[in-house]
Structure 1
Amino acid sequence: MGDNTESKQLAVAAGAALVVVDVQKGFEELGFWGPRNNPGADENIAALVDVWQETGRPVVFVRHDSVNPRSPLRPGQEGNDFKEYVEERRAKGAAGGGGAELLVTKSVNSAFLGSPDLGAWLTGQGAGQIVLAGIQTNMCVETTARMGGNLGYDVLVAYDATHTFDLAGPFGWRRTAEELAQASAVSLHGGGFARVLTTKEIVTAARV
């Protein structure tokens, strides 16, 4: 993701906020969601959180509280909980193992339309740059990236720290998770909403 010139110019701000979107147990229920892509996403998400905590940068954990009565993500179900590796890192943050942290809950696609107000918190932290990771690439990650770009944030998307699922659409069309993820990345990057990069590129820049 990104050419060599862009990689050399990449800078991750000292106050850049990592926004970890919907990394919840319910997304492990493939019988509900269908086939997924990028089996290495969780490892990359964990690596990003580790670096952000190590460097004292702010981290936002976003949880989707679904209003769909069939959804594994609805409140009161185990699937609504964060995955274990995320909870472990949240506990570390709560114990003082990093910078400022925030929990945002939402029932729509954009983390900017959750509670508490993400934009207000970012302003309070002085964060003009956000890095996005999580689930699903073409749903809540993409929507948050688009809205962040519209609001004037410098948005970076860690493509390989996201994943999605196969999806059926109109006219009998069906696209694989990988096709959807690539289309999302092209729209975000090519459309100027965000810079789509690899976890390695972002981690390397964050350690500088």
Structure 2
Amino acid sequence: MTENAIEIAPDSALIVIDVQKGFDDAAFWGPRDNPAAEGNIAALMDAWQESGRPVVLVQHASPRPGSVLAPDQPGHAFKDFVADRVGREALHVTKTVNSSFYGTPDLGEWLTARGIRQLVVIGIQTNMCVETTARMGGNLGYEVIVPLDATHTFDLTGPGGLSLTAGQLAAATAVNLQGGHFARVVSTAEVLTAAKAV
């Protein structure tokens, strides 16, 4: 085992964040990055279920009027490839904010009750709910791994009209998480290889 090799714990929890149909609405969100994200998410879900590791599905219920992710909208539903992979044993967390640790049921309590200390965080959006959950996980003392290519985001405009592409935002997330010691940023292929090695 090399110094930089990833080790995936037998009880590592896969946190699948907000992979919902509303994110397919390009007119609402604008341009996105990483068209491979969904395939990588599916591969990780399959690997976790095959190995019997725990899976957590997080679903955003937006309180904002007109949001495609509002509970009364069709976009609130999980994308089909996720819904098709949901096992009865998976934890389903509903949230209204960016962090998956502020949802129902309480993710932290669920992890603590099972002694889980390693999280693999994937989903949508890279620089929003994925990054916020990873940062908070790091702050709470979990070992957090983010396979960045199992996430995606959208172009965004901020103060003074400053615009960044989805790719630029994803790169910033990678730097923030690993450079800030919140999480280790890796690839889906690396995680899949490590998960099979246990």
TM norm structure 1: 0.93
Does 2:99 align with 1:83? Answer: no
Corresponding position of 1:97: none
- The residue type equivalent to 1:164 in the other structure is T
Does 2:187 align with 1:198? Answer: yes
Distance 2:135 2:111 in 1: 16
Measured after TM superposition, the shift of residue 5 of structure 1 is 5.0
Over the residues paired in the alignment, what is the CA RMSD in angstroms?
Answer: 0.9
Identity of aligned residues (%): 60
The CA deviation string for residues 74-100 of structure 1, in whole angstroms up to 9 with x for no partner, is 00111000000100001xx12xxxxx4
Does 2:108 align with 1:112? Answer: no
Trace 1:7-156 onto structure 2 (pairs within 5 A).
Answer: 9-90=5-86, 93-94=87-88, 100-156=89-145
Distance 1:46 1:86 in 2: 7
Distance 2:190 2:122 in 1: 13
Corresponding position of 2:175: 186
List 4+ stretches of structure 1 deviating above 6 A: none
Measured after TM superposition, the shift of residue 113 of structure 1 is 0.3
Measured after TM superposition, the shift of residue 185 of structure 1 is 0.8
Residue-pair matches, total: 196
SS at match of 1:179: helix
Unaligned runs of 5+ in 1: 95-99
SS at match of 2:121: strand
Unaligned runs of 5+ in 2: none
